Structure 1
Amino acid sequence: MEFAVCSVSAAAVRREARHESEMVNQLLFGDFVGILEYGKDGWAFIEGLVDKYKGWIRSAQLEIVDHATVDYENKWLLCSNGISDCIETNTGLIHVPFGANLPGIKNGKAKMGTLSYSYSGEYLADRSKQLGSVAVLTSILARWINAPYLWGGRTMLGVDCSGFTQIVFKVIGIDLLRDASEQAMQGQAVDFLQQASCGDLAFFDDSEGRIYHVGVLLNNHQIIHASGCVRIDAIDNAGIINKSSGERTHRLRIVKRYF
């Protein structure tokens, strides 16, 4: 299998190899993938090396790398205080979003394939040192308030419910799968909402029992989740209650713990 890394700020991953197709995910700068096949007209069918998520992407948004370059652990992450920060590459400036990988960076410089870059801002040198830190998690969650909802999105300029949980957990050293239904298969079940702690994930299902929504519990009665925008709402044993309207919006299925 050929390996590659996302070389742009954020790249749309689509269900089919055409621009009109649904965006099911985004790759962020520094995300490593395996290329499963090349399609027509500049498309590549890829699989994320960490979350195994598959889809079609424009091959021009990837940089081919050898296997020795691949960082499976996502050790180095951009964690600036803003929505994004700039890195300097041999092709010019790139605005890189919060939580993106900075593969191989050392003394502010790195090289991936033919792409060289430098960055002097804030980043995590080893995210494993943040493993399960509630203090780090709560400070990160606050930055996302009012980020708009975008199906398939993973940045503060547009994020969906499971993209939100995936990125914020990534920064505290925990790799989640991409979709809510997949994330619900990870972690350990919490028997009762009253036993939930900050950082547990709550999952919600539809009338047919399919899990389709997820959010991060702040405690056993508040949840932060992406619904319209990233927001804080109330939660009880039955589900989410919209803080503004008082309407019950999501039906609680299960609570899971990951650290």
Structure 2
Amino acid sequence: MRNKVWLVIIFIGFACSNDSKLLQQANQISHAVKLQIAPDSREAIFNPAFSINKDNGIVVSGETSLPEAKLALFSALEALEVHLVDSLIVLPEKKLGDKTWGVINLSVVNLRAYPKHSAELVSQSIMGTPVRLLKEENGWYQLQTPDKYIAWVDGAAIAQKTESEMKAWRNSNRVIFLPDFEVVKDPEQNEVVTDLVAGAILEVEKEHQNSYDLTLPDGRRIQVEKSNCELLSDWKTWELKDVSILTKTAKEFLGRPYLWGGTSVKGVDCSGFVKSVYFINGIILARDASLQFLHGDTISPAQGFLKLAEGDLVFFGRAKTDEKPMKVTHVGMYMSHGEYIHSSGRVRINSFEPEAENYNDYRSITWLGGRRVLNRIGESGICRVSEHPWY
């Protein structure tokens, strides 16, 4: 009897050891897939989990926003030669039904890290931004913006749409609003409906000699002067041939307050500032400074700031050491003659030139280099609005 007990204990111990090894291998495979396809949780969801079922197969649960990541994972897991149980959800979740798209319907909406108003403000979106809906929780929606950024928004901020409704929106006659800010009224009731900020996109309901009747994404109606708008079809085909226009746009933000997570003329953080400048000129950049740092041609600190060109992004932070990795904490945009414009407390202009009155020693000694994005339009993280399928 004692021998049988020992045999059972040995068998259980062996089985547990095998299960532990199998789960370890599955997690190693998952980590490799994540590094290759979904390395940053700000831009992609990839959270598989593994367990062993009674048949000694691997149950793969969790969720991902990337069908290609799931395919890669299961293809790689086949090397383990065990039965795989597929419980990995590909977002959008089914309870959203066919309303898996949306358009931002308020002038500026706050995007949160978690589905509650007290959660960290991680970004913003402006009216007319198309978004992909992923999940719903207590009236909050997890969404993905055109720059791939993933966050949560209050359901009141979006007009939910089906794929066919989004197609109709993309094919509609639309305008982009260009001034900094305006409070607008209903053309019939003459009552305030909303405010607008630069970059808002709206559908044209009716054209008058000097104005447009416009429809907001949720159906509200406003009237805006033609001089404040440009047809989106014309704006999207416009090419940035004179980079000084970027500097002109950037200077329109001077004095605007720094706002963590801000991406509009009402307030901007450092990456939201350069992102807004580029978007107003038809180019979508990655959201955060550390993400923007990954894209474009490199100008290293060793080359010096004189190698920078107008419109280049300039990055600041902690240089790599033997003990710590590099950390990007700030970004601005280079103008000319050693000067760059950035959001730090407020949008301001500083200089790399030690003799200049607006020289910033702290920024100069923490400069990590520049990125020339205009040479890389069309690559990952640098996309023309005209080439983005969501618009």
- Which of these residues, 107, 111, 119, is aligned with residue 21 of structure 1? 119
Aligned counterparts of 2:166 and 2:357: Cα–Cα separation in 1? 48
Quote the RMSD (CA, aligned, Å): 2.7
2:104 pairs with 1:3: no
Which structure has greater helix proportion? 2
Aligned counterparts of 1:93 and 1:142: Cα–Cα separation in 2? 29
Does the aligned pair in 2 maintain the 1:4–1:63 contact within 8 Å? yes
Task: Tell me the secondary structure at the aligned position of residue 185 of structure 1.
Answer: coil
Aligned counterparts of 1:180 and 1:99: Cα–Cα separation in 2? 21
Which structure has greater strand proportion? 1
Q: CA deviation at 1:170?
A: 0.8
Task: Tell me the secondary structure at the aligned position of residue 114 of structure 2.
Answer: coil
2:12 aligned partner: none
Q: CA deviation at 1:246?
A: 5.0
Q: What TM-score does the superposition give when structure 1 sets the normalisation length?
A: 0.85
Give the count of matched residue pairs.
Answer: 250
Aligned counterparts of 1:162 and 1:105: Cα–Cα separation in 2? 34
Aligned counterparts of 1:257 and 1:105: Cα–Cα separation in 2? 40
Aligned counterparts of 1:69 and 1:131: Cα–Cα separation in 2? 28
CA deviations 1:133-186 (Å, max 9, x no partner) are 323222211111111000000122211001001111012221101111111222
CA deviations 1:76-130 (Å, max 9, x no partner) are 43211xx312344599521111222335677424444534444224123314314
Aligned counterparts of 1:55 and 1:242: Cα–Cα separation in 2? 41
Q: CA deviation at 1:70?
A: 4.9
Q: CA deviation at 1:224?
A: 0.2
2:184 pairs with 1:84: no
2:287 pairs with 1:175: no
Does the aligned pair in 2 maintain the 1:196–1:220 contact within 8 Å? no
Aligned counterparts of 2:340 and 2:223: Cα–Cα separation in 1? 37
Matches within 5 A, 1:29-40: 29-40=127-138
- Which of these residues, 137, 155, 175, is aligned with residue 59 of structure 1? 155
- Which of these residues, 325, 329, 339, is aligned with residue 212 of structure 1? 329
Does the aligned pair in 2 maintain the 1:14–1:22 contact within 8 Å? yes
Task: Tell me the secondary structure at the aligned position of residue 285 of structure 2.
Answer: coil
Larger radius of gyration: 2
1:96 aligned partner: 196
Q: CA deviation at 1:241?
A: 10
CA deviations 1:52-80 (Å, max 9, x no partner) are 111111001111232204549xx843211
Return 5+ residue gaps in structure 2 as ranges. Answer: 1-91, 93-99, 320-324, 375-391
Matches within 5 A, 1:105-116: 107=207, 108-111=212-215, 112=217, 114-116=219-221
Q: Report the CA distance shift for 1:115/1:214 in structure 2 as closer, same or farther (over 3 A).
A: same
Structure 1 stretch displaced more, 115-124 or 169-178:
115-124
Does the aligned pair in 2 maintain the 1:132–1:172 contact within 8 Å? no
Does the aligned pair in 2 maintain the 1:45–1:54 contact within 8 Å? yes
Supply the AA of the counterpart residue of 1:256.
Answer: R
Does the aligned pair in 1 maintain the 2:351–2:358 contact within 8 Å? no
Supply the AA of the counterpart residue of 2:372.
Answer: R
1:44 aligned partner: 141
Q: Report the CA distance shift for 1:44/1:161 in structure 2 as closer, same or farther (over 3 A).
A: same
Task: Tell me the secondary structure at the aligned position of residue 284 of structure 2.
Answer: coil
Task: Tell me the secondary structure at the aligned position of residue 291 of structure 2.
Answer: helix
Supply the AA of the counterpart residue of 1:78.
Answer: F
1:252 aligned partner: 367
Q: Report the CA distance shift for 1:163/1:119 in structure 2 as closer, same or farther (over 3 A).
A: same
Does the aligned pair in 1 maintain the 2:315–2:367 contact within 8 Å? yes
Aligned counterparts of 1:163 and 1:246: Cα–Cα separation in 2? 21
1:122 aligned partner: 228
Task: Tell me the secondary structure at the aligned position of residue 178 of structure 1.
Answer: coil
Q: Report the CA distance shift for 1:189/1:22 in structure 2 as closer, same or farther (over 3 A).
A: same
- Which of these residues, 167, 170, 195, is aligned with residue 68 of structure 1? 167
Task: Tell me the secondary structure at the aligned position of residue 223 of structure 1.
Answer: strand
Q: What TM-score does the superposition give when structure 2 sets the normalisation length?
A: 0.58
Structure 1 stretch displaced more, 201-210 or 140-149:
201-210
Q: CA deviation at 1:199?
A: 0.7
- Determine what percentage of the aligned residue pairs are the same residue: 26
